[in-house]
Amino acid sequence: MRDFLAMGGYGPYVWSAYGITLAVMVGLFWQSWQRARKRTAEAERVRAERRAEARRPARPIVAERRPVDPPAER
């Protein structure tokens, strides 16, 4: 077993490379998981807002009436 872990003298290099790779992979997984949770919460918030908007009655479109200026006299 010691020969396997020593890997012919290259054990420290090989195992540190595996350790760094594992740390990076775990970090990327954690970051992706956090972003997915954030995006899911944001999407749910947007869906809730759209459902609330759909329940509100539509406001009628009313044209604004402005008095017409009389023609300017010269």
Domain residue ranges of the chain, discontinuous segments joined by +: 2-55
The pTM for the full model equals 0.58
pLDDT digits (tens, 9 = 90+) for 18-58: 999 999 999 999 999 999 999 999 999 999 999 988 887 77
pLDDT for residue 74: 64
Residue type, 70: P
Residue type, 46: V
CA distance 1 to 27: 30
pLDDT for residue 68: 76
Q: Is 52 helix (H, G, I), strand (E, B) or coil?
A: helix
